[in-house]
């Protein structure tokens, strides 16, 4: 970029671009300057956590991830804190979400879906053996590494045994409605293991069908169908897959198939290879409480680097799948359907890019807040999920070549699709066009939480 950018360094990590953000945290890619290794760092604001009484939930998430050391689960590497923030350092998984595969391929072939399902059950069964229940299993929380293996992420809603009441059951209704087991909705208590397995069954169905078994815009109608397990399997499901899904999506948790029974299932066992790893790992939870106190043991300093900060190689690679950069600049053109993030390249000056986006957004009813080469576009209309909010940032990839990223921060994804299509019409003068064919430089999109799966 042409402007001075304050790059933050936390301990031995240099923080890069934002990979995702929620209400209370941002996830950033970072580089360990000692080893050159890429990591993902979840950054939490202490004041927000205290204000919203989320200390125990964050402690539980950290403790949970320390308890589950498995090849198919995103690994927590360390936890650090400054006076104002908590930094959770995680394994960086660069293959994207499993959700991406469903969006781009419509659905997976049965053998590929089975492989991911086998890995999912391996990881979930391991969690249950450690008395950890995820409670929010869905394709958006399943990542794929460079070797094509599954990695479960986001244990923010996970439960540990101490959360069970005297009846030995969990009672908190949580998770994503389309993936939630009927007993969770009943609010009479549920076993975390059987509820997680129901979600796994929904995931298997989605992988093979490309759409949800239970999908209604009206929540009460959706819950009624879940309670009755009212769904049908597509014609291309094999008899073995159909039978297994029927056993998992059994509305009666007492007769629902267990993980132990699943391992004996003929369809499940096809091509199955159990993972090899050290199950006896020593767990140290000393830092969990320390990062919330004034303890200096896990305290790190935050330093700002005031040098110009163009997008460097490790950040650029992080936007692609593995080390192949073709996905960044060689996909679907203007017709691509933006899901959660959209990127395009431009050879126009950065200031012109920013002003053009501003001019295109205002007539669409968006307020614009600018800071250097970052923008926040806030819709003035209250949509289905509140006001649509879009973050925009310009990065310098090379001299006279910029990458522009638009990312939905809040609001409905469908409304973002419509907004983006309208916005793009006003950006055609700044989007890079190839001299060879005169076509618009393609966009790279990152799938989010919308169609074909919600």
Contact 144, 95 (CB under 8 A): yes
Burial class (CB in 10 A: 0-12, 13-18, 19+), 381: exposed
CA-to-CA distance for 369 and 403, rounded, in angstroms?
A: 20
Q: What is the DSSP string of 97-110?
A: BHHHHHHHHSS--H
The CA dihedral of 97, 227, 188, 142, to the nearest 10 degrees, is -10
The CA dihedral of 333, 334, 335, 338, to the nearest 10 degrees, is 100
Beta bridge partners of 401: 398
Contact 203, 113 (CB under 8 A): no
- In the set 122, 125, 136, 196, the catalytic residue is 136
Distance (Å) of CA 320 to CA 37, 127, 304, 329: 17, 30, 27, 9
- Does residue 136 have an active-site annotation? yes
Phi, then psi, of 273 in degrees rounded to 5: -130, 115
Q: Evaluate the CA torsion angle 408, 413, 417, 422 in order and state its sign.
A: negative
Q: Evaluate the CA torsion angle 117, 137, 37, 324 in order and state its sign.
A: positive
Q: Is 42 annotated as a binding residue?
A: yes
Q: Which residues are catalytic?
A: 136
* Residue numbers belonging to the annotated binding site for ATP: 42
Binding-site annotation, residues: 42
């Amino acid at each position: 970029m042409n402007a001075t950018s304050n790059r933050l360094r936390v301990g031995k990590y240099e923080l890069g671009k934002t990979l995702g953000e929620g209400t209370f945290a941002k996830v950033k890619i970072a580089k360990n300057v000692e080893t050159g290794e890429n990591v993902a760092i979840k950054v939490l604001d202490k004041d927000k956590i205290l204000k919203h009484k989320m200390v125990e939930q964050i402690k539980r998430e950290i403790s949970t991830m320390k308890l589950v050391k498995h090849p198919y689960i995103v690994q927590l590497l360390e936890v650090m804190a400054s006076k104002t923030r908590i930094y959770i350092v995680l394994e960086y998984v660069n293959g994207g979400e499993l959700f991406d595969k469903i969006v781009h391929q419509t659905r997976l072939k049965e053998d590929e879906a089975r492989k991911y399902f086998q890995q999912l059950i391996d990881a979930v069964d391991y969690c249950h053996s450690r008395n950890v229940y995820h409670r929010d299993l869905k394709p958006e929380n399943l990542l794929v590494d460079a070797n094509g293996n599954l990695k479960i992420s986001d244990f923010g809603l996970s439960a540990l045994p101490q959360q069970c009441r005297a009846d030995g059951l969990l009672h908190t209704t949580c998770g994503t409605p389309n993936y939630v087991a009927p007993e969770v909705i009943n609010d009479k208590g549920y076993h975390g293991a059987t509820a997680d397995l129901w979600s796994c069954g929904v995931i298997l169905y989605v992988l093979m069908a490309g759409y949800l078994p239970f999908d209604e815009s009206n929540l009460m109608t959706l819950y009624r169908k879940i309670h009755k397990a009212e769904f049908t399997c597509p014609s291309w499901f094999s008899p073995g897959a159909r039978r297994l899904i029927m056993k998992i999506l059994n509305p009666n948790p007492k007769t629902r198939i267990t993980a132990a029974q699943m391992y004996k299932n003929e369809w499940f066992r096809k091509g199955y290879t159990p993972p090899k790893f050290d199950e006896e790992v020593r767990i140290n939870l000393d830092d969990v409480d320390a990062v919330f106190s004034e303890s200096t043991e896990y305290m790190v300093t935050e330093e700002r680097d005031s040098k110009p900060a163009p997008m460097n190689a490790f950040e650029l690679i992080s936007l692609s799948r593995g080390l192949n950069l073709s996905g960044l600049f060689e996909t679907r053109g203007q017709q691509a359907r933006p899901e959660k993030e959209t990127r395009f390249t431009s050879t126009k000056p950065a200031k012109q890019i920013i002003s053009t986006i501003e001019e295109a957004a205002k007539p669409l009813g968006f307020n614009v807040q600018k800071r250097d080469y970052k923008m926040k576009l806030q819709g003035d209309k209250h949509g289905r999920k509140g006001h649509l909010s879009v973050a925009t940032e310009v990065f310098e990839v090379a001299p006279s070549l910029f990458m522009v990223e638009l990312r939905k921060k809040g609001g409905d994804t469908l409304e973002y699709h419509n907004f983006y299509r309208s916005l793009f019409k006003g950006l055609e003068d700044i989007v890079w066009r190839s001299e060879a064919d005169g076509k618009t430089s393609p966009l790279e999109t990152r799938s989010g939480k919308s169609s074909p799966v919600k």
